[in-house]
Amino acid sequence: MKNNNKEVWIGHNDLNSPELQEMAKQEFANNIPVVDTMADEQVMESSTNRRDFLKYLGFGLGAATVAASCEIPVKRAIPYVVKPDEIVPGVATYYASSFVKGGDYTSILVKTREGRPIKIEGNSLSPVTHGGTTARAQAAVLDLYNVNRLQNPTKDWAEMDTEIKDALASANNIRIITNTNMSPTAQKAMGEFLAAYPKAQVVTYDAVSASGMLEANEVSFGLPTIPNYHFDKADNIISFGADFLGTWISAGEYAHGYAKNRKVDPKAENPTMSHHTQVESYMSLTGSNADNRIMVRPSEQGAAIKAFYNALVGNNMGSELNEKASNALKALADKVKGANGKTLVVSGSNNVAEQVVVNAINEYLGSYGSTITFDRTSNQRQGLDKPMAKLVSDLKGGKVDAVFVMDANPAYDLPEAADFAEAMAKVKTSVFISTVPNETGALCKYVAPAPHFLEAWGDVEPKAGMYSIIQPTIAPLFNTRQAEESLLVWADSSNLNAEADQPYFEYLKANWEANMFPKQNNFLSFQTFWDKTLHDGVFTAPVAASNVRNAADVNTYLAQIAKPGQGEEIVLFETVAMGAGQYAENPWLQELPDPVTRTTWGNYFGIPITWEGGNSMVTYQNLNQEEYKGKADVVEVSVNGKAQDITCIASFGLAANTFSAALGFGRMEVGFAGKGVGTNSMAWLSRDNDGNVQYFNILDAEPKPTGEIDYEFPCVQYHHTFGITGQEDGKEINVDEKTLMAIGEGFQGGLTERSIIYQANLNEVNDLKAKIAEKREFAKHLNDATLYPYEEYQEKFYSQGHHWGMAIDLNACIGCGACQVACVAENNVPVVGKTEVSRHHEMTWLRIDRYFFGDHENPNTVYQPMMCQHCDNAPCENVCPVGATNHSSEGLNQMTYNRCIGTRYCANNCPFKVRRLNWYDYTTADLFGGNEVYVNGEEIPFGADNLTRMVLNPDVTVRSRGVIEKCSFCVQRIQEGKLTAKKEGRSLREGDIKPACQTACVTGAITFGDFNNENGALAKALDSELNYLVLEETNVQSSVHYSAKIINRDEAIS
C-alpha cells in the first residue's frame, strides 16, 4: 500500500487504470532481454565477447545496486506530448469561478498548477464579496480531493436513467428536496423538469433558515425576499441575534461593509466609527465584535424586539424582558431615535411576527432607502420551513412515491430528521444527487454523483442582477454528472444536447445568450460578452430601483410575539466553520478553532460563567478547570425528551440560565473528518406555531454531570482574558489577574501592563495614543541600552532593497478565521486531529488569539492574528545550533527545513510562540512507515493518499517529522512577485506581493509591504499613533505592526 501511494500520477484516469498500475510495479518500462542473450549459445562465439562481458558486468552491478536499495519507489512523471497553451509548468493559472454551497456564496479565483486546483482566492471584481473570502470558501478546494466523494452512480448511467424515467412516469407525487439554489440556469433546468412531470414539486429548505424573515417580508412588503443591507452606511447597527459577520446569510459581504465603518482614522481629532449593539443569548462572532452586548435569554428575543419597538415609539415597554436588558434597550432607543436613515436593525429571528416588528422598527428609523434597499435583493436564503415540515408528514403518510434529494441532508439537519429517515422507507423511488454521501443519501435507492463545483459549469445569482460564473478548473475526477444535466436527461429535455462534449455547458451558454446577454449594452457579440464574463467571473446587470411600502399592521404582530419562557434554555447556533454540518467533511474546517470558544473538532455545551469573587474561580484562565490538561467534564443534557452526553465548557457572554451548543456536529454518514465528531444537536431544535424552526429550546432538566471525563478536549487557548474587570470591595479589579495563581492571588497588572493588546473606548483614543507613545518610548529607552543599536543595523542591512513587513488592524479583524484556513491551504500546513490538538500540538502558522476584556459578565473581545513576527533581532536565530533558521537580506526570518534537527530551542525562545514542531509524522513523509498519526479513524492516514496530496502547493516544501516550521510571510509569493517584476523589467509595484492571509481577509485587516516603499500601503498603515509592536521592549525588533483596538462602547447601553 505504502509503495502505491508514492507513485506520481498525472490525472484521475490513472487511478483506475490497471495497465498503468501494473507498469508502475515493474522495474523497467520494457523487458530487457538479458536472460535471452545470456542463454544464446552464439554469445560465446561472438567476436565482441569481452565488451559484452563488461557490459553485463556493469549492468549486473547496476541492477544489483538498484535491487539492493529496496525502498526506492518507482516514480513516473510524463511530459506533455502536446503542451496545452495555457499551462506552463511551474506557473500558476487562475480561473474566475464561484464557491457555492447551498446559500453560501463567494466569488473566487481558482489557482491551478499543472492542471490541478490548489488554492482559492477572492475575486476582487465581485460587487458582492469584493475580493474577500470566508474560511468555508478557502477550505472548499480540499473537498475536491476528498477521498470520500461519490465516485460512481449506483448503476450504469444509461440503465439508471431508464429506471428513473420509468419510475417518474408512473409516479403520482414527486418531490424534489433542495437547499437554497441561486443558479438561474439550474432553476431553468428545474423548470423543464417540473414541466415534464407536472406531478413534481420542489421543496426548498435551509438547515439554518431565514424562513421567518422571508415570510415577514412578504407580509410587510409583499416580497418574499431578503433585502440589500448596507452595513457600511449605518452609524448604528443593531442586531437581534443575527450573526451577520460569521454565519448569517451573506456574512462575507456584510463583514466587508461593516469593517469600512469600523476602522478608525488615527489622524482625526475626534475619530468616528459605527456603533454596534448585539442583542443575543450566547456570544456569537458578531456579538464578540459588538461594542455593546445586551444579553437576553433566547426565548426573550421576541420580547426584546417588542420592548425596543415600544421604547422607540414611546409605548410602555412592559415587563416581560429582564430589567437589565430592558434598561439597555431603552437607552439604545434614545440613542438612535434621532438618527434617521443612519441606523440598521437586523434580526436572526426565524419568527414571522418578530421579523415584521423588526421591519417596523427599521421603517420607524428610516432605514429603508438608505441602509436597507430592495434593489439588489439577496437570493442567498430561499428555504421555507413549513413546506418541509409538511413534506415530512406527507412522507409519513406514504403520500409521496418519488423523492429527489439535491445535495440536501434532511435526514440529519431537520428537527424531525428521525421521522424523515423512517418515512423515506415508504418512498418507492428515491434519488440522491450530490458530491458526497450523507445521512439522506444512505437512505436513497439511486445515487447520481455530481461533480465538485471546481469540476463543474454553472452560474449563480446571489443578489438580483449580480451574476457569477462557475467554471471547471479540472476534468471531473470521477464518474459524475452535473445535477442539472441529470434533471434535464430525466426530463427528456429537447434543449439539452446530450451528444455534446459538455452538454450542460452548452445549455448554460444558451441560457446566457437568451437571458443575460440582452441585459447589457457593452458587447455586441455574445462570444465577446461570454469571454469577458468568464474572464471576470462576474456580470452585473442593471436592476430597477424598487419602491416598497410597509403594509403590515404592526400591532397585530406585536401581540403575536410569544412571551419569554421559564426555566433553563439552550440556544443552538451555527458555527463559522461547520455551518449546519454541510462542512463536516472538511478536516481544515474541523481543525479551525471556533473564533469565540477556541475549540476544535466538536461542539461543546456552553455553561455561563459567573464571578464568585473568590480565588476558587479559575475560569478566567481555564474554562473548565481541567482545560489546560486537555480534559473536560461530560454532562447529560436532555431536550425534547432526547438526552445526550456532551462535553461542556464554561463560556463567556451567555445569558443567565442559558446554555449553548453548536449545530452541525455528530454526523455519522460522512467522510472520516466529520464522523462521530461532536454531538448531534439537531434533534433539540423546535418549531414555532408557524412551523418555522426555532434555534433554541427549553431544557427538560438541569444538565447533570455524568462523572465522565473527556480526555481529549481540543481547545487551543487556555487563558482567555486580558483584563476582565469585576468589583471587589467596591473597587474595580482585574479579575483574571486575581485568579491566575494556584496559591493565593495574582497581582494586578500582571497581564494588562504587557504590551500585547492595546485597547480603548472611542472617546479615550487620545489617551490611548499617549499611552502607546509612552510605552513605546520606554521600550525604545530599554532597547537603546545596547552596544548594537538597531537603527545602525537597519541602516546597514535593510535600507537598500526590500525590507518586508506587515501591519494588522485589530479594529478591522473580526476573527472569522479565513486567513488561517488560507494559510493552511497555501503552505501545506498539516492537519493533526483532535487528540493532537488537545495536547496543544496544532500546527497552524497563523492563529487568531482571542482575548476578552472589560466587564466580566459581558466582556468585549479583541482578536489578534498572530504569526511569525519576522524579528530583525530574532531570538530564535541565534540559538539554533545548526543555523537552520536565519535572516534574509530582506528582513525575513527563514527556515531551512533540511538543516533543522529539531532541538526546539528556537520555539522555546520565541516570545510569540509561533514556531511549530512536527511532533509526529503528520505529513506521512517519514523515512519509515507505520508511524503516521490518524486524524479521525481514516483508512489511510489523512494526506497519505494520492488524491488528497493533489491539493499540496508545489511551491512549498512538505515538512517531515522532527522539523520546526512557521510562517514564512509566504516567501514563495514574494519570490514569484519579484521574478514577475524582473521578467517584465520593472520594479515591484504595490500589490504585486500579497501573502495568503492578506488576500483571504474580507475586511482588509492585513497589509503586507515593503518598509522601504515610502508611498506604499504599508507606510500609510504605519503612519498612525495607534500603531505598536507587540512586546517591543524585548528588543526583538519585530516586523509585524498592530493597530490598537478601539471600541465604541456606550456605558449607558450595557
Partner 1 sequence: MSSVVSPIRQPLVKGGKTYHQITEDICSPTERMPSTQWFIAFAVSIAFLGVFAFSVFWTVYWGIGSWNLNRTIGWSWDITNFVWWVGIGHAGTLISAILLLFRQKWRTGVNRAAEAMTIFAVICAGQYPLIHVGRIWLVFFIFPYPNTRGPLWVNFNSPLLWDVFAISTYLTVSLLFWYTGLVPDFATLRDRSKGIRRRIYNGLSFGWTGSAKHWQRWEALSLILAGLATPLVLSVHTIVSFDFATSVIPGWHTTIFPPYFVAGAIFSGFAMVQTLMIITRKVLKLQDYITLEHIESMNKVILVTGTIVGVAYLTELFIAWYSGYIYEQFAFYNRVLGPFYWSYIGMMTCNVLSPQIFWWKKMRRNIFVTFIMSLFVNVGMWFERFVIIATTLARDYLPSSWSYYTPTWVEIGLFVGTLGLFFTLFLLFTRVAPVVAIAEVKSILKTSGDQYSHEEH
One residue of 74, 147, 196, 907 binding partner 1 per CB under 8 A: 907
Closest CA to 653 of 679, 619, 625, 630: 619
Q: Quick one: 256 or 915, whose CB is closer to partner 1?
A: 915
* Total binding residues toward partner 1, as defined by CB under 8 A: 71
Grid coordinates of 99: 464557491
Q: Residue 462 CB, nearest distance to partner 1 (Å)?
A: 36
Closest CA to 922 of 651, 669, 600, 587: 587
What is the C-alpha radius of gyration for the chain, rounded to an integer number of angstroms?
Answer: 30
Q: Residue 741 CB, nearest distance to partner 1 (Å)?
A: 4
DSSP state string for 18-33: HHHHHHHHSSSSS--T
Q: Residue 903 CB, nearest distance to partner 1 (Å)?
A: 5
Q: Does 793 bind partner 1 (CB under 8 A)?
A: no
Grid coordinates of 566: 421559564
Beta bridge partners of 107: 98
Q: Residue 652 CB, nearest distance to partner 1 (Å)?
A: 15
Closest CA to 446 of 127, 167, 79, 138: 167
Q: Residue 704 CB, nearest distance to partner 1 (Å)?
A: 28
One residue of 120, 150, 171, 866 binding partner 1 per CB under 8 A: 866
- All residues at 6 or more sequence positions from 562 whose CB lies less than 8 Å from its CB, including other chains: 299, 302, 351, 688
Q: Residue 799 CB, nearest distance to partner 1 (Å)?
A: 24
Rounded to whole angstroms, how far apart are CA atoms 240 and 302? 9
Q: Residue 905 CB, nearest distance to partner 1 (Å)?
A: 6
The CA angle 436-437-442, to the nearest 5 degrees, is 165
One residue of 864, 1003, 1012, 1038 binding partner 1 per CB under 8 A: 864
Q: Quick one: 157 or 919, whose CB is closer to partner 1?
A: 919
Q: Residue 934 CB, nearest distance to partner 1 (Å)?
A: 13
Question: Alpha helices, DSSP H only, in 424-565?
Answer: 483-490, 503-511, 526-536, 554-560
Q: Quick one: 749 or 937, whose CB is closer to partner 1?
A: 749
Q: Which residues from 1002-1031 bind partner 1, rule CB under 8 A? A: 1030-1031
Q: Quick one: 184 or 587, whose CB is closer to partner 1?
A: 587
Q: Does 849 bind partner 1 (CB under 8 A)?
A: yes
Beta bridge partners of 646: 635
Q: Quick one: 354 or 594, whose CB is closer to partner 1?
A: 594
Q: Residue 649 CB, nearest distance to partner 1 (Å)?
A: 17
Residue 1042 CB neighbour total at 10 angstroms? 25
Residue 774 CB neighbour total at 10 angstroms? 10
Q: Quick one: 105 or 912, whose CB is closer to partner 1?
A: 912
Q: Which residues from 666-725 bind partner 1, rule CB under 8 A? A: 717-719, 722
Q: Does 69 bind partner 1 (CB under 8 A)?
A: no
One residue of 33, 318, 883, 937 binding partner 1 per CB under 8 A: 883
Q: Quick one: 797 or 905, whose CB is closer to partner 1?
A: 905
One residue of 426, 563, 899, 1020 binding partner 1 per CB under 8 A: 899
Q: Residue 783 CB, nearest distance to partner 1 (Å)?
A: 12
Q: Which residues from 924-963 bind partner 1, rule CB under 8 A? A: 927-928, 931, 933, 960-963
Residue 614 parent element (H or E): none
Residue 983 parent element (H or E): helix 971-983
Q: Quick one: 765 or 868, whose CB is closer to partner 1?
A: 868
Q: Does 909 bind partner 1 (CB under 8 A)?
A: yes
One residue of 276, 847, 870, 887 binding partner 1 per CB under 8 A: 847
- DSSP 8-class letter at 124: T
Closest CA to 798 of 888, 894, 895, 893: 888
Rounded to whole angstroms, how far apart are CA atoms 734 and 995? 37
One residue of 1, 881, 1014, 1015 binding partner 1 per CB under 8 A: 881
Residue 983 CB neighbour total at 10 angstroms? 8
Q: Residue 1038 CB, nearest distance to partner 1 (Å)?
A: 12
For residue 707, which amino acid is it? G
One residue of 113, 802, 841, 994 binding partner 1 per CB under 8 A: 841
Q: Which residues from 39-58 bind partner 1, rule CB under 8 A? A: none
Rounded to whole angstroms, how far apart are CA atoms 247 and 238? 16
DSSP state string for 322-366: -HHHHHHHHHHHHHHSS-TTSEEEEE----HHHHHHHHHHHHHTT
The answer to whether 141 touches 118, Cβ cutoff 8 Å, is yes
Closest CA to 835 of 945, 922, 751: 922
Q: Which residues from 556-585 bind partner 1, rule CB under 8 A? A: none
Q: Which residues from 424-453 bind partner 1, rule CB under 8 A? A: none
One residue of 313, 668, 882, 979 binding partner 1 per CB under 8 A: 882
Strands 402-406 and 174-178: parallel
Q: Quick one: 72 or 882, whose CB is closer to partner 1?
A: 882
Binding mask 958-997 for partner 1 (x = CB under 8 A): --xxxxx---------------------------------
- All residues at 6 or more sequence positions from 82 whose CB lies less than 8 Å from its CB, including other chains: none
Q: Quick one: 461 or 877, whose CB is closer to partner 1?
A: 877
Rounded to whole angstroms, how far apart are CA atoms 276 and 115? 45
The answer to whether 454 touches 110, Cβ cutoff 8 Å, is yes
Rounded to whole angstroms, how far apart are CA atoms 322 and 803? 56
Residue 458 CB neighbour total at 10 angstroms? 25
How far, CA to CA in Å, does 466 sit from each of 40, 182, 517, 540?
77, 11, 13, 4
Rounded to whole angstroms, how far apart are CA atoms 824 and 590? 12
Q: Residue 414 CB, nearest distance to partner 1 (Å)?
A: 38
DSSP state string for 877-913: HHH-TT--EEE-TTS-EEE-GGG-----HHHHT-TT-
- Identify which range of 195-203, 265-273, 523-531, 880-888 contacts partner 1 by CB under 8 A: 880-888
Q: Does 919 bind partner 1 (CB under 8 A)?
A: yes
One residue of 386, 839, 949, 978 binding partner 1 per CB under 8 A: 839
Q: Which residues from 324-353 bind partner 1, rule CB under 8 A? A: none
Grid coordinates of 792: 545602525
One residue of 72, 418, 701, 901 binding partner 1 per CB under 8 A: 901
- Identify which range of 106-114, 291-299, 464-472, 833-841 contacts partner 1 by CB under 8 A: 833-841
- Identify which range of 177-185, 343-351, 433-441, 921-929 contacts partner 1 by CB under 8 A: 921-929
Q: Quick one: 523 or 628, whose CB is closer to partner 1?
A: 628
Grid coordinates of 197: 412531470
One residue of 519, 629, 642, 949 binding partner 1 per CB under 8 A: 629
Q: Residue 112 CB, nearest distance to partner 1 (Å)?
A: 33
Rounded to whole angstroms, how far apart are CA atoms 225 and 217? 6
Q: Does 921 bind partner 1 (CB under 8 A)?
A: yes
Q: Does 623 bind partner 1 (CB under 8 A)?
A: no
Q: Does 920 bind partner 1 (CB under 8 A)?
A: yes
Q: Does 1041 bind partner 1 (CB under 8 A)?
A: no
Rounded to whole angstroms, how far apart are CA atoms 248 and 625? 33
Q: Quick one: 53 or 711, whose CB is closer to partner 1?
A: 711
The answer to whether 367 touches 341, Cβ cutoff 8 Å, is yes
Q: Quick one: 381 or 841, whose CB is closer to partner 1?
A: 841
Q: Which residues from 733-792 bind partner 1, rule CB under 8 A? A: 740-744, 746-747, 749-751, 753-754, 756
- DSSP 8-class letter at 512: I
